Amino acid sequence: MTSSTGTSSTGTSSTGTSTAGDVRLDIEGHVAVITLNRAAKLNAVTPAMTETLAGYVATVNDRRDLRAVVLTGTGRAFCAGSDIAGLDDYDSPWQFGNRPDYCDAVRGLRKPAIAAINGYAFGGGLELALGCDIRLAATTASFAAPEIKLGWIGGGGQSVLLAHNVGPSNAALMLLTGDPVDAATALRWGLVTEVVAPDALLPRARELAGIVASRAPIAAETAKLNLRAAFEMPLERAIDYERRLQTICFATADAAEGRAAFAEHREPAFQGR
């Protein structure tokens, strides 16, 4: 790995790039941009890429100066899923089922994550996108769960995340046919939030990440936790959990700063404390 970026764990920001194999991490102020960089293979993920991606996630989680993440790909694809050529390398189905998973790594991000989907988001690539909190798509993007065409199904949360995001009938259509849907359909179904021109995708994702990064970082992380709880808990329990998270946020220095800034008619300076 080559690196020109600092490893600050304070509230200060830095700029730089780290590259290992086919995954790149760019630090731009308080925003981390993780790029799958294997365009010749449609950014299909190898075990080595999974290891690198998991390492970058750990770095982002550990650094207090990083407050938002953009995940994207190079070339014609966001990610075409796992590299199928390597799937026969596992000694047994048990070993395959217990392999480190890149979708698990992305869902492990504690910071708000924005998927900038530039092209094909197929199979595990669709699951990567679904693991992010906000999804933006280029007009060239398309989405598919094609595993059924090869004799299996997705294993990185595909069914449950699709059902939550596009509804059971649309999820069933994708899962049972394996056929792709275009960006306009994805927007209509609620799979993505915005569709923009290809050359506007990354600037828009960075802009949105910058807005998120300007908010109170502890509140942003707890809001992400709270959104996940909304899918996992019964109503009253979820509301109680939300209230407890609110109490934690209210006790932070950032909340005091927010109240002071409001009273003084100025922009708050959040420090993640």
Catalytic residue list? 127, 147
Instruction: Give φ, ψ of 27 to 5 degrees.
Output: -105, 120
CA distances (Å), 248 to each of 133, 241, 244, in order? 22, 11, 6
Q: Distance between CA atoms of 17 and 24, rounded to whole angstroms?
A: 7
Contact 138, 198 (CB under 8 A): yes
Q: Hunting for tokens 């596992």 — which residue is that?
A: 90
Nearest Cα to Cα of residue 69 among 250, 254, 221, 263: 221
The CA-CA-CA angle for residues 27, 32, 36, to 5°, reads 100
Residue 133 bridge partners (DSSP): none
Q: Hunting for tokens 């100066």 — which residue is that?
A: 65
Residue 195 bridge partners (DSSP): 137
Angle formed by the axes of helices 217-232 and 235-250, nearest 10°: 170
Q: Distance between CA atoms of 137 and 81, rounded to whole angstroms?
A: 17
- DSSP labels, 171-224: HHHHHHH---EEHHHHHHHTS-SEEE-HHHHHHHHHHHHHHHHHS-HHHHHHHH
